Structure 1
């Protein structure tokens, strides 16, 4: 599901089963990440799928990338693997107005 930054943040803050997932490359993450995000690089192909399959499907995933395109694809992959709640941050980190570490 695609969410605006405002909706993504409000859902995230009210969610006690949330996991923030950054699907960018390690080099991109070195430039800054949303606090508490875990990184699984979507460009890892099968490695990405293997790592995603190991995640807890009962959690709710708040997914982002640089602009929102890769994270939208990641949400599609997650849905196909049985994850019911994967939320894509529209605009990605380049439009992010919140904290970065």
Structure 2
């Protein structure tokens, strides 16, 4: 670990299967998360302003897979995690949209 990289949805799925303890962070708005998300993901609605307070609640000693809707905010969030001293994070390339297009597993709370 110790990496901060953007990986394809397929690579993310392989990583989730290989490392079941990895935390998957969905940083989209809660309504989007409830509608559909990657199985096992935790919602941490990210609007840019509350990053610091939200990140302080996370365990910096474990790796994360992060995704937003299209991958852009996820990349920004990953950089912030690196700056904040996290051990590692992976941003899904193309975010949730790419995961869905790749026909990878989804779940919902509705």
**With structure 1 as the length reference, what TM-score do the two structures score?**
0.89
1:72 is aligned to 75
The answer for unaligned runs of 5 or more in structure 1 is none
| 4+ runs deviating over 2 angstroms | none
What does 1:14-53 correspond to in 2, within 5 Å?
14-43=18-47, 45-46=49-50, 48-53=51-56
Task: Specify which of 13, 16, 25 is matched with residue 12 of structure 1.
Answer: 16
The RMSD of aligned alpha carbons is 1.4
**With structure 2 as the length reference, what TM-score do the two structures score?**
0.82
Greater shift in the superposed pair: 27-36 or 65-74: 27-36
The answer for unaligned runs of 5 or more in structure 2 is none
Q: How many pairs are equivalent?
A: 100
Q: Measure, in 2, the Cα distance between the counterparts of 1:11 and 1:24.
A: 21
